[in-house]
Every structure is written in structure tokens, then in C-alpha cells.
Amino acid sequence: MTDRPSIVIQPDPSSLADAAARHIAQAIRDIVGAGRRCSMGLAGGGTPRAIFERLAAMDDIPWAEVDFYYGDERCVPPDDPDSNHRMASESLLTPIGAAPSQIFRMEAEREDRDQAAADYAALLPDSIDLLLLGMGPDGHTASLFPDHEAIGERALRVIPVIGPKPPPWRLTITIPVIEAAAEVIVLAHGANKAEMVARAIEGTRDLSVVPIQAAIPGTWFLDEAAASGLKKD
Ligand code: 6PG
């Protein structure tokens, strides 16, 4: 297990989005160019929108060969303003004309959340090719929050959780799904995340305290504000 991610620091959120979009686009081209479909796990929250918009504006990505999954979803209808699927649809899936057969939505609005989680786990690939993750100032990622029993879940790949970030009920992938991904890409900007970025990358490893550390072997795209707590080389 490598103990430090690859870190790409850009001056501001816009250039971070440019760099991340270019990296993701090339990764998709490389996977499809090797003759197979690409599975892409979409991050939720607000940060990915700018990256998705840039990806949708590129004209040389073989989108027909990409299948879209989610790292987590809020337990709201898919057209709710809080829905991660709504954000991804608006900024990427609709603009690129993704077919319904390519989109594997977490049905987190279902009343039986345990069954919805089990159904989603059954369709997740064993290893997601490109897993995009955001992180909160508290070190959470997807809907895996610090000091939460979900961190210790190693058998189930998708579970319902109640988290401190509204809306409270969510479905989330678990740590084994992050660890099994072929490539993990972390997207984070803002000074409010600087302390936790430094803690995650330079502090002792403890997923129950800093869940985003599960993404340490990945590539982290940061703006200067989010990277400001890191030791200068
Ligand atoms: C969610 C996300 C969550 C998000 C972080 C960062 O559904 O809320 O999966 O993990 O990535 O909270 O959110 P921002 O990108 O809005 O800062």
C-alpha cells in the first residue's frame, strides 16, 4: 500500500477542474483504447459539477463505451435538488447523450433502503475502473463519515447510513469498493479542507478518523487553498 497519493495542485478551482477533466478524459481513452468498456464511479456533492461540465464539452471521449455508477446517493427522489444523480445528469449524462443502459443509478429513494443497497451492490463491478471521490472538511468521502460504524463494514459493498451532512439518509459504497477500484481520483478545493487534506496525507492512517485515507493510493486534485496545509517539499 503506497502511503502517499499522487498530488496535482492547481491555482484555483477552475484550473483544478480543467486538470482533473483532462486526466479523466485521457484515462477513459486509454481504457477504451485497450479494447474494453470503462466503468466510472461518479462523486456527489458540489465539486464534481465543474469537472463534469468540462468533460461534457470535450469532443474526443468515447462516451458510448463508458458505464456510469455512483459512490453514494442521498435518499431523495432522483429529480430532487439534493440528488447526486440530478447533478450528474444536468452536468454530464444528459449533455453527452448517455443511454439509460449506461447509467446505473443508486435507487436511494426506495423505502426499503437495505434492499436498494443490496440490489446496487449486485450490479457494481468487482473493480471500478475510475472512481471519483470528493471529501468533506471532516474527512468524509462518499457517505462514509468519521467515527461511523459504516467504516468497519467489510462484507457489504453498499449500505444505508445516516450522516451528519444533510440530507441525513444516504446509500454509500463501503471501504472495500474504494480499495478495489483500479484508479481513485480525489477532487477537493477550498481552504476549509486544507487541515483535513494535510491530516489525511501526512497524518497517521486511521480510516475511522479520516475515511478519505482509503483513497490514498489515488490521484488527488487540489487547488492551492486545499493544499495549503501540506508540508512544502
Ligand atoms: C455527497 C458526496 C460527499 C461530497 C463531499 C464534498 O453526496 O455529499 O458524496 O462525499 O463529495 O461532502 O462535497 P463538496 O464537493 O460539495 O465540497
30-62 confidence digits (pLDDT tens): 999 999 999 999 999 999 999 999 999 998 999
Q: Which amino acid is at 216?
A: I
Specify the 3-state DSSP secondary structure of 223: strand
CA of 131 to the centre of ligand 1 (A): 14
In this prediction the pTM is 0.97
How does pLDDT run across 16-34, given as a tens digit for each residue? 999 999 999 999 999 999 9
How is residue 181 written as a grid cell? 477500484
Q: How many angstroms separate the alpha carbon of residue 89 from the centre of ligand 1?
A: 16
Confidence of residue 166 (pLDDT cuts 50, 70, 90): very high
In this predicted structure, the answer to whether residue 1 has a pLDDT above a threshold of 90 is no
Percent of the chain with pLDDT over 90: 97
Which H/E stretch holds residue 170?
strand 169-173
Question: What tens digit of pLDDT does each residue of 177-228 get?
Answer: 999 999 999 999 999 999 999 999 999 999 999 999 999 989 999 999 999 9
pLDDT reported for residue 198: 98
CA distances for 224 relative to 8, 91, 217, angstroms: 10, 25, 20
Spatial distance between the Cα atoms of 183 and 131, rounded to a whole number of angstroms: 6
When pLDDT is averaged across residues 68-97 and rounded to a whole number, the result is: 98
Atom 12 of ligand 1, residue of closest alpha carbon: 136
**Cα 19 from Cα 24, distance rounded (Å):** 9
Dist. CA 105–CA 85, nearest whole Å: 7
Please choose from 140, 158, 171, 177 the residue to mutate so as to test ligand 1's pocket, defined by most ligand atoms within 8 A of CB: 140
